[in-house]
Amino acid sequence: MTGTDGERPRAGAEARASTEPPQVKGSASVGVVGAVALGVVGVAIFAGTLPATRLAVAELDPMFVTFGRAAVAALLAAPLLALGGTPLPRGKGLAWLAGASLFLIVGFPLSMAFAMTSVSAGHGGVVLAILPLTTALAATAVSGERPGSAFWALSAAGGATVLAFVLAQGGGTISAGDIFLLFAACAAAFGYAFSGNLSRTMPGWAVISWALVLSFPVTAPLAVLLAPAAPAGVGASAWAGFAYVALFSMFLGFFFWNAAMALGGVAKVGQLQLLQPFLTILIAAVVAGEAVSATTLVFAAAVVAIVALAQRARVRRAE
C-alpha cells in the first residue's frame, strides 16, 4: 500500500520532469530564434527606407511622400483586414493603436523625409542608430519592460559607438537634418512600443494594417492635396523610392518587426536596430554610390559585437 501510494506521486513527478522542462526550454529557444530572425528581416527592410526616401524627396514634396505612402499602404491593408477578420481593438488597445498611428504613420516618416532633404542616407542611418536607446526608454514607459543594468550598459555602449562615428564623420557639428532625425528616432521608439504591446494580443500584420486604415481619412486627402501637379514630370527614381517606402517601409516591414517584438520584447528586439545604420550605409552605397570607408566597417563590427552581447542580456517583461 505504502509502496504503491509512494510510487504514484514519484511516477507522476518523473513524467512531468521528463516532459515539461524540455517543452518549456524548446519553446523559449524557438521563441528567441524566431524573434531574432523576424527582427533581422524587418531591420533589413527598414534599412532601405532612408535611401528610398532620399530618392523620393529629391523630386517630391516630403509631406506628400509621408502622407502618400501611408495612403497607398492603407489601400493594401484594408482588404487584408477584411479577409483576416481581425477586429478593431477596444479600450486600452484602441489608445495604443492611436499612439502607433500618430508616431509611425506621421511622426517618424515626416521627420525622416524632411531630414533626407539636407543630409545623406548614410549619415541618417548612423544618426538613427540611437533608436535602440530611445526604443528601450519608450518600452519602460509604455510596455512595462525593465531592462537590467547589463542591458542598459550595452545599450549605452552601442549608442556611444555610433555617436563617436557621427562625430568623426561630421566634424562634431549638428545640422537641422540631425535634429529632424532625432525627432524621427523618438517618434519611432514610441510607435514601436505601442505597436509592440498590441502585437502581444493581435497579429503584427493587423496592428500596422489597422493603424494605416485608422489614419486613412487624414492621410488620403492630404496626399491628394500635396500630390505633384505634373506626375509625369517626376523621375522614375523618385517614384521608385516612393513605391518602396509605401509598400515595404510602410507595410510589409512592420509584419516582421511587430511579430519579432511580440516574441522577444520591445526593448530586447529593439537592439537589432543597431544593425540598421550599417545596412542602410550598404544600401545607400549600392543605390546612390555613397562611399563606404574602412572606419565605417570598423564601427560596424563593433556594433554587431555589442548587439550579440545585448541579445544575451535579460529583459524582464511586464505581465
283-308: per-residue pLDDT in tens? Answer: 999 987 777 777 777 877 787 788 76
Rg of the chain on CA atoms, in Å: 22
Residue 237 or 2, more confident? 237
Nearest Cα to 61, choosing from 109, 125, 12? 109
Residues contacting residue 204 through CB under 8 Å, at least 6 positions apart = 195, 254, 255, 256, 257, 258, 259, 261, 262
Q: What is the pLDDT of residues 150-205, one digit of tens each?
A: 877 887 887 788 778 777 777 777 778 888 988 998 999 899 888 878 878 888 78
- Report angle CA 19, 21, 27 to the nearest 5 degrees: 105
Distance set, CA 6 to CA 9, 10, 17, 20 (Å): 6, 7, 17, 21
Q: Where are the domains of the chain?
A: 2-316
pLDDT on residue 15: 38
Strand pairing of 146-147 and 315-316? antiparallel
Reading phi first (left if > 0) and then psi (alpha if -120 to 50, else beta), residue 37 is in alpha
